Chains A and B, each alone.
Chain A
Amino acid sequence: MKHVTRALLLFVFIVLVFISAIFTLRALGEEYYPGIPDSLLGIKGLYGYDRNEKVIIRNEPDFLGKEYCKNCHEEIYEKSLKGKHDFECETCHGAGRGHPDKDLSVENTRDFCLNCHKPVIARPDFSLVYDWETHGYPDKPCTVCHDPHHPWFG
């Protein structure tokens, strides 16, 4: 029995040390922990996002916004505001950084439009093409009839 008591005492002792360490650190406050280890490692500021987000924040933005496109494609910009495709140009054309050197043209296919217009379970119920297999001409792109930048007629 003696050995069990000793082992138990040792265990209780470790637990007590652990708990008192926790309470000491809490009482000392954040300047001590994690403050001191942070400053030893040269990390400034007590709190921050995790590393991944910091790295992403440092990156230059890939997406520039439609106001940027307006600088050179004013006509399309104005037209798009009148229709329901008035969201960011980059939603369809991809990130604008590097353009005009980078090609922003999209594959003008039915599948491309159907990425957003095909009925899918999780998709909100907006302008879905329920007859997507037969709607329009099955073998011609949608843009034969719809202007991608101003999809409704007139």
Chain B
Amino acid sequence: MDLDYDQISKEAQEALDAVLGREEPLKPRDRMAIPAQPMPAQPSGVRVGNMDEVALGYTEAQARVEAMRCLQCKNAPCIDGCPVRIDIPAFVIACADGDFQKAIDIIKANSLLPAICGRVCPQEVQCQIDCTVGRALKDVEKSVSIGRLERYVADLERAQGKAHAPAVKAETGKKVAVIGSGPASITVAADVRREGHAVTVFEAFHKPGGVMMYGIPEFRLPKDIVQGEIDTLREMGVEIQTNFVVGRTRRLQDLLEKDGYDAVFVGTGAGLPKFMSIPGENLVGVYSANEYLTRVNLMRAFDKENADTPVLPSRRTAVLGGGNVAMDAARCAVRMGAAEVHLVYRRTEKEMPARIEEIAHAKEEGVIFHTLENGISFRGGDDGRVHTMECLRYELGEPDDSGRRRPVPIKGSEFLMDVDCVIVAIGNDSNPLIKQTTPAIETNRWGNILVDDTGKTTMDAVYAGGDIVLGAATVILAMGEGRRAAASINALLG
């Protein structure tokens, strides 16, 4: 449902004035009665025609009113839900008081990337899942919107030009190499540089930022925010070498043995697209989500006039998968002009790993959901372009290892779907390049690098974190891992 921006901000202002005009302080019951503030958003009919950010951010009045809903619980279940343990009640009460600078300072004591995490963290399964307000109202969507508040204060600081690069201690003469430039690597680079060690970031792509740059679309995470974090690193004196693929341009051992680096951090992510090994998978028009998203975002296919790297024009696109990546791909396909976008998932909506907000946005934008179905083969014409997807229907059986109920195919339920583009978004494995070229680094059977509880790999002076350790995970977990590894590297270098 599209909400009117002016209406939202007017109501928030009235609610704020009402609270500020009170003689009595707010009691918990009053706080619970304050309406949860909705996120203003571009109307769905408009946003499908552009790449701009969908969620517009709270107004000041909304931020204060939303913050006033917080009960300041002594046991603070929200902190337990936060992977980097931000002092959430403290920053939220600062928001309620209108002291936004204090709020952002509190967040920054634990999180390096609040403008990003405020946008892409799955708060509904982290800090907001056990929020007392949400529990009392029996709806996690009615929990205090901690993420939106985080985003508000981070954006405000940036808009006011007050976001300064952290101070850097005197040069120590030590050198650290950071491989990859996603959130794990950005965190390590900043935390290690702060201590005065020289840091070089090596990134294979022509632009740094990792998945935040090439995968997550502009309409969910504007690229200038990611670029801002990269600029901050540069301001701190971190050197960033793009077009440098460790393992090929230079081997990891050589960085340590020949180039004089004292420690290395590996943050190379989970960049290997999984395919399903089914007939017709290599037809023209069948993409991995990685390829599709990279074409649209990093290579800017959405800017049809200027970009050299297009995606194929499509009438009916099918996206296979039910995670964030699938939603992003489906929503990009809508914006790239497909008349119909079908999202096909083997289980039900309840099992979808995607964020609730993303599912809702995708539906608003006209993505058609097919649950308990999956593609089993693709057929193409003489030109090699896919024109049909053969599908099968499923029902849910017993729970599997992941605790989700296993999809069981229904015999004889095959049917055909007319498609001219398919995006396979069924997950990513770890990028094997570092492992292949660095025998001393051990991995588990999924190719994830093994680390101890300090973030150290099986090779001396080499640390790792983020998706290359966890498997495809989240930005905040990558950041948390980066913090841990950086602390260990700083301890190692003394």
Q: Do A and B assemble together?
A: no
Q: B: which residues have CB within 8 A of A?
A: none
Q: A: which residues have CB within 8 A of B?
A: none
